[in-house]
């Protein structure tokens, strides 16, 4: 199955390290990050899961729930979590889905058709409170993810959802943003009384923090 941006994230019910989870119900009114791992007891995944646990205050600040997935069974997840706590200095504090029949992996297209069918790629799905898929990232099994970039992207999504703006290249919290080309200069002046810089008619930058 091919998941596309803007579509409703497929719902499912699956066992996890926190008990059975019905995905949409578990998400509730939160944002969600669903991310998959090639296998249990693999080195890169061990570091990733520890990092997501370390970032708990950042997820909570953004109203984000995190949930991992591996095709290994639940019993293996529980043993692996002991290794993660020991080596990464932080216990996994979010659910890990057990997907031994690969039902969720196939539902979300996490298995590369030309790779080992028993190994999932490193997929990331950011899902908003309306259950829509807002961001998709896919890494090869050999490359660990940058969760600071995932946080940055969520910051952009949450900011731009409520205003007629977009975030430019390498944007971070506090940087100027781009005013939507759909707004006339008159409309932009009303919405951004702090003023903005026009580099081109279609490229106008505004500092939001000037009035916040």
Residue 1 belongs to a domain: no
Q: Are residues 170 and 129 in the same domain?
A: no
Q: Which of 211, 206, 22, 208 is nearest to 131 (CA)?
A: 22
Residue 34 belongs to a domain: yes
* pLDDT given for residue 152 in this prediction: 98
User: pLDDT confidence of 174, banded at 50, 70, 90?
Assistant: very high
How many structural domains does the chain have? Answer: 2
* pLDDT given for residue 120 in this prediction: 65
Q: Are 39 and 45 in contact (CB under 8 A)?
A: yes
Choosing from 34, 45, 92, 98, the catalytic residue is 45
Q: Are residues 62 and 133 in the same domain?
A: yes
Residue 153 belongs to a domain: no
CATH of the domain at 40: 3.40.30.10
* Tokens encoding 73: 């069974």
**Per-residue pLDDT for 125 more than 80?**
yes
Residue 59 lies in domain = 13-145
The H-or-E segment that residue 48 falls in is helix 43-54
Cα(93)–Cα(113) distance, integer angstroms: 32
What's the chain's average pLDDT? 92
Residue 19 belongs to a domain: yes
CATH of the domain at 175: 3.30.1020.10
* pLDDT given for residue 142 in this prediction: 83
**Per-residue pLDDT for 211 more than 60?**
no
* pLDDT given for residue 67 in this prediction: 98
The H-or-E segment that residue 35 falls in is strand 31-37
Q: What is the pTM of this model?
A: 0.92
> pLDDT tens digit string along 56-85?
999 999 999 999 999 888 999 999 999 999
* pLDDT given for residue 30 in this prediction: 98
* pLDDT given for residue 37 in this prediction: 87
168-179: average pLDDT: 96
User: pLDDT confidence of 210, banded at 50, 70, 90?
Assistant: low
Q: Are residues 119 and 192 in the same domain?
A: no
> pLDDT tens digit string along 87-112?
999 999 999 999 998 899 989 988 77
44-52: average pLDDT: 95
Q: Are residues 196 and 138 in the same domain?
A: no
Active site residue 78: no
* Tokens encoding 139: 């890494």
Residue 2 belongs to a domain: no
Question: What residues have CB less than 8 Å from 99, skipping those under 6 apart?
Answer: 14, 69, 70, 71, 105, 120
Residue 5 belongs to a domain: no
Q: Are residues 66 and 113 in the same domain?
A: yes
* pLDDT given for residue 119 in this prediction: 61
């Amino acid at each position: 199955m091919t998941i596309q941006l803007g579509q409703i994230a497929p719902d499912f019910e699956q066992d996890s390290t926190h008990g059975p989870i019905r995905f949409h119900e578990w998400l509730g009114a939160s944002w969600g990050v669903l991310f998959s791992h090639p296998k249990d007891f693999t080195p890169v995944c061990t570091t990733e899961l520890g990092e997501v646990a370390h970032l708990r205050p950042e997820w909570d600040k953004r109203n984000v729930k995190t949930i991992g997935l591996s095709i290994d069974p639940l019993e293996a997840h529980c043993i692996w979590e002991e290794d993660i706590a020991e080596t990464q200095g932080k216990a996994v504090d979010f659910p890990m889905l057990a997907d031994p029949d690969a039902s969720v992996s196939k539902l979300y297209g996490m298995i590369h058709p030309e790779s080992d069918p028993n190994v999932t790629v490193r997929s990331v799905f950011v899902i908003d409170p309306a259950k829509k898929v807002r961001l998709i990232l896919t890494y090869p099994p050999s490359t660990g993810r940058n969760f600071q970039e995932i946080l940055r992207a969520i910051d952009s999504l949450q900011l731009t959802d409520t205003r007629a703006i977009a975030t430019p290249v390498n944007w971070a919290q506090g940087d100027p943003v781009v005013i939507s080309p759909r707004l006339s200069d008159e409309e932009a002046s009303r919405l951004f009384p702090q003023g903005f810089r026009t580099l081109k008619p279609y490229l106008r930058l505004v500092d939001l923090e000037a009035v916040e």
